[in-house]
Amino acid sequence: MVSRRIVAAGKFIGVLAVLGLFLHFGTLFVSTRYGTSGQTGIFSIWGGSLAASPKYGGGNDSGGGENNSYSPDGAKPVKAALVALVRNDDLYGLRKTIRELEDRWNGKHNYPYILLNDKPFTEKFKRGVRDLTRAKVEFGMLEPESWGYPEWIDQNKAREERESARYIKGHSESYRFMCRFQSGFIHKHPLLQDLDYYWRIEPDVHYYCDVDYDPFMLMKNNGYKYGWNIAPTEYEPTVRTLWNATETFMLKHPDLIPKDNLLDWVRDDQGHYTRCHFWSNFEIVDLSFYRSKEYQMFFDHLDRAGGFFYERWGDAPIHSLAVAMFLSKKQVHYFDDIGYYHPAMSHCPAGSKESGKCVCDPREGWANGFSCAKRWRKM
């Protein structure tokens, strides 16, 4: 009886030994065939994705997809966060957004979330967000000077504009407060003071693609200052005098405008405003750009002009005009590989219905066919 057990155990050990040798020599063979190290295993063959490319954040300083630098409590390879301005009643919409971000990307990277509100967040809201992520989540309130009317605004004139407006969000006072905050104050909030980059997120959006690299490292490694995804034209009644105000600024400060700028994207051959802009509900930004002297001077100039309230200047055209004036094309990145939906508009990378890491229908994600996106690709 004992001898049978010994024989059976010997056979089992022999089988294990044969399997071990097979895996060992198999790994050596495929590592030689595909140029892998042979020490990271067979699966490294299929790991040669964008994540491994230095351009997309790979290399020794990237942290890698499983590196400890991406642990929830660890220091990240880039000082960055996902940032949203929301209200307590946005909980469901924001939970949907965060669920997709975690599944598509941040579950592997654990960059923190910073959520801002003009009112205190409820405990229900905080719990509902923290349930979805291992990453650090911080909640903050807006500072009084960043939300509301500056002292030089004629509030009667502002009210008359709201009452007579015939465009989307035209009657909203708080929407104008939001546009002013996103244009000139979000990067100054104390919770963002230690960040080098931010990725703006919104409630009720969709991310169609698995992102297998670190967009923040992509920005850093390539010297990009601004990243965008959708570029429509702005509705003319909301920006009736914005281009005039911008031209006045450029005439006053020609020394701030570099020669290799992007102004031809926002003005046509006759010098007229194209109203092209980057839709800022998706933007990834090197915050040194918004903190720069020239950006602050431009915002102050526009803020004094009053167009946030006497019209309905949005943060998207203001960010875009600043990009066009102060940056070159090599400093701006088009994230056309990230499928994205925001109510009313969508971007779907070509071929995503049949293959690839995105699942969407390009016929429904038509933002890459906008005239402004085409204009960008031709530059």
Instruction: Kindly list the catalytic residues.
Output: 283
3-state secondary structure of 116: strand
Question: Would you tell me how many other CB atoms lie within 10 Å of the CB of residue 184?
Answer: 21
Name residue 345's beta-bridge partners.
Answer: 342
- Strand-pair partners of 284: 199, 227
> With contact defined as beta carbons under 8 Å apart, do 88 and 125 qualify?
yes
Quote the CA–CA distance of 229 and 338 in Å, as a whole number: 8
Q: Which two tokens stand for residue 10?
A: 């010997």
Q: How far apart are CA 295 and CA 17, in angstroms?
A: 66
> For the CA atoms of the chain, what is the radius of gyration?
25
**Inter-residue contact 165 to 241 (CB < 8 Å):** no
Kindly provide the residue ranges of all beta strands, DSSP E only, lying in 159-233, ordered along the sequence: 197-200, 206-207, 226-228
What is the Cα–Cα distance from 336 to 362, expressed in whole angstroms?
12
**CB burial string 354-372: b at 16+ within 10 A, e below:** eeebbebebeebebbebeb
Q: How many Cβ atoms are within 10 Å of 59's Cβ, its own excluded?
A: 14
